C-alpha cells in the first residue's frame, strides 16, 4: 500500500475514529503460516495458509488471516475499493492412481468487499480513467449503489486504473475465483443454505410470486432496482451481496463450446466477444444467483443489471 492507505480492524481495541480511519504508509507482504479460520471452525485439520502482514508506521506489523474479512479489510488509497484477504482455492482431488503429485493450494489473494460503487467509478472518471464513460444510474442514485451500465472492457479499464494508481495488480476475478469467494468455504446452493428469501438478497420473483401469491404484512417484495452494496449480511469471508443485486463480470471467456479461462495477464485482450458473469441480479430470478451459476454476456453489454467487483494479487 502507499500513502493514504486505510486499514479497518474490528478485532483491535480502538475508539470509533481510530477503528474506521487508520491511515498510514503501509506495505502488504506475505509472512508466516496460519491455520485457515474456516478450517478451524469446521473442525478440519489446521491446514497451513499464507497470511498477509500489513506493516503500519508506528505500529507492530499485522498479519491478516485469509478469510477474516468480516473483521479486517483495507484500502490501497482513499478512492480505492475496500478489499479483504481470502484463501486461495483448494487443489483439485488427487488422481485415484496417485501417479501425479497433488496440486498445491492456490495463493491467497484480495477481493472487493463490495461490487464497485458509483462513487468509486466516478472517482476513476474524474481522474481521467475508465474510458471517460459516465454510466446512467437509472435514477436510482449513485454513491454507494453498485455501478451499472458498464461493459466488460469498462470493468477491465477500472482495474487497470487502480493498478496504475496504486502500483498493485488489480484485475477481474476468474469465474472459479468468483464462485470460490461466493461460497466462502460452504457447499450449499447459497452461502447461507439451500433456500433464499428477499430478506437475504435482491432478486426478482416470477409473476406468480409477485402478483398471484398474497404477501404477509411486512414481507419483503421484489425491489425492482439495485440496492446499496452494503445491504444484507456479508458472507463468512466478509463479502457483501454475492447473490443478486448486479451481475458481476469475470475475466473468463465463454465461447459457444464452453468456457475458456482467460489468464489474468491476458484479460484485457479481446480474445472473445462473450464473457462470463456471476451472481444474478435484481432483475433475475433466484436460480440465477446460485453460487455455481454463471452466464455468458456479450462483452460490450451495458445494462441496468451489469456491474463487477475487483480482485487484487498479493506479493
Domains defined for the chain, CATH in brackets: 104-315 (3.90.1580.10)
Number of H helices, E strands in the chain: 6, 14
Q: Are 280 and 247 in contact (CB under 8 A)?
A: yes
Q: Are 283 and 303 in contact (CB under 8 A)?
A: no
What is each CA distance from 80 to 4, 22, 110, 166, 304, in whole angstroms? 10, 15, 13, 9, 23
Segment 212-230 mean pLDDT: 73
72 forms bridges with which residues in the sheet? Answer: 9
pLDDT tens-digit readout, 114-139: 999 999 999 999 999 999 999 999 99
* pLDDT the model gives residue 33: 30
From the list 303, 296, 313, 315, the residue with the least C-alpha distance to 250 is 296
Collapsing DSSP to helix, strand or coil, 166 comes out as helix
CA distance 284 to 303: 13
Sheet with 306-307: strands ordered across: 294-298, 274-278, 247-253, 306-307
Segment 8-12 mean pLDDT: 68
pLDDT greater than 80 at residue 159:
yes
Cα dihedral value 298, 114, 287, 307, nearest 10? -20
Amino acid at each position: 500500500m502507499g500513502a493514504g492507505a486505510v486499514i479497518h480492524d474490528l478485532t483491535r481495541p480502538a475508539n470509533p475514529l481510530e477503528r474506521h480511519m487508520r491511515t498510514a504508509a503501509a506495505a502488504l507482504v506475505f509472512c508466516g503460516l496460519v491455520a485457515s479460520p474456516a478450517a478451524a471452525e469446521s473442525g478440519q485439520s489446521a491446514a497451513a495458509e499464507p497470511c498477509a502482514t500489513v506493516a503500519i508506521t508506528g505500529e507492530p506489523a499485522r498479519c491478516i488471516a485469509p478469510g477474516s474479512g468480516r473483521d479486517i479489510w483495507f484500502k490501497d488509497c482513499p478512492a480505492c475499493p475496500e478489499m479483504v484477504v481470502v484463501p486461495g482455492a483448494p487443489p483439485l482431488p488427487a488422481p485415484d492412481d496417485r501417479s501425479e503429485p497433488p496440486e498445491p493450494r492456490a495463493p491467497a489473494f484480495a477481493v472487493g468487499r463490495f461490487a464497485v460503487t458509483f462513487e468509486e467509478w466516478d472517482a476513476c472518471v474524474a481522474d481521467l480513467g475508465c474510458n471517460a464513460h459516465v454510466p446512467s444510474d437509472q435514477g436510482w442514485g449513485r454513491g454507494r449503489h453498485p455501478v451499472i451500465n458498464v461493459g466488460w472492457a469498462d470493468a477491465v479499464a477500472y482495474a487497470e486504473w487502480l493498478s496504475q494508481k496504486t502500483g498493485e495488480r488489480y484485475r477481474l476475478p476468474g469465474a472459479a475465483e468468483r464462485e470460490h469467494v461466493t461460497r466462502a468455504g460452504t457447499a450449499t446452493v447459497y452461502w447461507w443454505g439451500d433456500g433464499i428469501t428477499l430478506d437475504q438478497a435482491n432478486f426478482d420473483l416470477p409473476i406468480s410470486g409477485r402478483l398471484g401469491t398474497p404477501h404477509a404484512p411486512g414481507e419483503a417484495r421484489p425491489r425492482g432496482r439495485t440496492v446499496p452494496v452494503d445491504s444484507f449480511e456479508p458472507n463468512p469471508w466478509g463479502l457483501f451481496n454475492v447473490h443478486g443485486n448486479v451481475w458481476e463480470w469475470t475475466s473468463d471467456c465463454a465461447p459457444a463450446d464452453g468456457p475458456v479461462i482467460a489468464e489474468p495477464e491476458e484479460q484485457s485482450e479481446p480474445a472473445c466477444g462473450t464473457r462470463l458473469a456471476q451472481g444474478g441480479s435484481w432483475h433475475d430470478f433466484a436460480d440465477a444467483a446460485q453460487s455455481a451459476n454463471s452466464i455468458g454476456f456479450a462483452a460490450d453489454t451495458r445494462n441496468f443489471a451489469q456491474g463487477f467487483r475487483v480482485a487484487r494479487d498479493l506479493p
